[in-house]
Amino acid sequence: MRGIKQDETGRLDGDNYHHLLCHNLCECHHCFYYTLTHMSIGSRQKLIIVLVIAGAILRFWNLGFQHMNWDEEFTIAFAGPAISAGDLILKALSQDFTPPLYYLAAHFSMLLFGETATAIRIPSAIAGVILIPVMYLIGKEYKDELFGILLAGFSTIFYNFIFYSRYGRSYSIALLFFSLAFLYFMKTVKGNRDASIPFGIFALLALWTHLYTAIPLGIMILYLFYKQMAFPGVAITVIGSLPLLNYINVINETRIQGVGSNTFGESPLAVILYTPLDLFTYSVFLIFPIVIWVLWKYRADPILKLISIISAGTWFSMLALSTRTPIILHYGIFLVPLVLVAFLCPFFWQISKGLVQSYPPKTLLLILIAWIVVCLEFVQIFALLTIQRGSW
């Protein structure tokens, strides 16, 4: 076999064995795995750019098409051009549950583009586009280039990412900052001391965009404190978030006394039953079981174990707090970048293992699941972009 080295027994060793298998199965350079993992830096960058362009089209196309819901109408009334930025910060800290960072972004967008649905959605759309390469970096940090490309590719067409990128509230921006915080949290856990400060900064920005990021971020900070890691970054987050303690008074003023009188948030039963559906929409029946299976079976994996702890802790907090204060199901949206890592693991493993050993039934099953999930995502995207919901 030309170009393949053998030892004196005629057996192939190490990388040569892998190379021969790749050569026989896929003519080597045409192999899907080989191509993705051996492409040049320029080719990878071009692929990510293509995904970003596709994501931008899905997020910006006809951005003002859907009528505003009452939350978006509230955004325009609350953060309109008439108020100054300083007064808006003080107003947000004392009169609403949403911290001022998104309101400032919407305020300046309205100064440029007017008091329209498009104007207040532009900051969300920009954040949604930036999230795509961030997801690539998360996947690359967790595994490798291939995993990063898979994660970025799925994030490009994931319906809920697109939905919140076209929604004039704080979720998309908070999702971006939280994802960046998680990226540097992983780096810190792996021993990268330089990641401490970026973790602290992005965690702080996430907190100043949406209060409920405090729960998953708090779990990360407790873990880092327990492991005696990232003290500078943790200090930045803790000190910088002190003004947000004023929200304790705001929350206490609107706190509900029981589920029976809860006319704003979800009941504990709704949190139990509907949180997965809210996070994954119609793909939930395929995505959620795979996530649970991966997180349980591979719980020895350090990152997957942390994802399990952060996700379970956040969900249980939603359940507990729903008896005391209004909890909205989309508060769990910040967990999606984490659990998508778990969801894509079987697909990544099968692509990788397929070069060494073939498992046709498993491969066919995963192809079927992927095809159904992608179809469901595109059906929902088509409906979002073309079917007017009315005032929702």
Pull the structure tokens for residue 316: 């249980």
Phi, psi dihedrals of residue 104, rounded to the nearest 5°: -65, -40
Q: What is the pLDDT of residue 31?
A: 53
Q: Do 29 and 351 contact (CB within 8 A), yes or no?
A: no
Given a cut of 50, the residues of the chain with pLDDT beneath it are 1-15, 17-30, 256-262, 355-356, 391-392
Alpha helices by DSSP H, listed for the chain, are: 14-26, 32-38, 41-60, 70-79, 85-95, 100-113, 117-142, 145-157, 159-165, 171-189, 196-207, 214-226, 231-240, 247-254, 268-280, 284-297, 302-321, 336-353, 360-386
Maximum Cα–Cα distance across the chain: 82
Q: Read off the pLDDT of residues 273-318 as tens digits, 9 standing for 90 and up.
A: 889 999 999 999 999 999 999 999 999 999 999 999 999 999 999 9
Write out the DSSP string of 225-240: HHTT--HHHHHHHHHH
Helix axis angle for 41-60 and 145-157, nearest 10°, is 10
Phi, psi dihedrals of residue 98, rounded to the nearest 5°: -90, 125
Phi, psi dihedrals of residue 326, rounded to the nearest 5°: -60, 125
| Signed CA dihedral, 290, 164, 60, 51: sign only | negative
Q: Do 99 and 253 contact (CB within 8 A), yes or no?
A: no
Pull the structure tokens for residue 376: 């469901």
Pull the structure tokens for residue 15: 């990388």
Q: What is the pLDDT of residue 390?
A: 59
Pull the structure tokens for residue 360: 């046709």
Q: What is the pLDDT of residue 241?
A: 95
Q: Do 236 and 195 contact (CB within 8 A), yes or no?
A: no
Q: Read off the pLDDT of residues 1-35 as tens digits, 9 standing for 90 and up.
A: 444 444 444 444 444 544 444 444 444 434 555 56
Q: Which amino acid is at 251?
A: I
Q: Which amino acid is at 222?
A: L
Q: Which amino acid is at 39?
A: M
Which residues make Cβ contacts (< 8 Å) with residue 315, sequence separation at least 6? 271, 275, 332, 335
Left (φ > 0), alpha (ψ -120 to 50) or beta: where does 31 sit? beta
Q: What is the dihedral of CA 199, 204, 210, 212, to 10 degrees?
A: 70
The residue with tokens 């300083």 is 86
Q: Which amino acid is at 324?
A: R
What are the C-alpha distances in Å from 37 to residues 30, 41, 45, 370? 12, 10, 13, 21
Phi, psi dihedrals of residue 74, rounded to the nearest 5°: -65, -40
| Residues paired with residue 6 on neighbouring β-strands, in sequence order | 12
Q: What is the pLDDT of residue 326?
A: 75
Q: What is the pLDDT of residue 361?
A: 74
CA angle 270, 382, 43 (to 5 degrees): 105
Q: What is the pLDDT of residue 8?
A: 47
Q: How far apart are the first and last CA of the chain?
A: 66
Q: What is the pLDDT of residue 49?
A: 95
pTM attached to this predicted model: 0.87
| Residues paired with residue 12 on neighbouring β-strands, in sequence order | 6
Pull the structure tokens for residue 61: 């196309």
Q: What is the dihedral of CA 331, 132, 289, 305, to 10 degrees?
A: -80
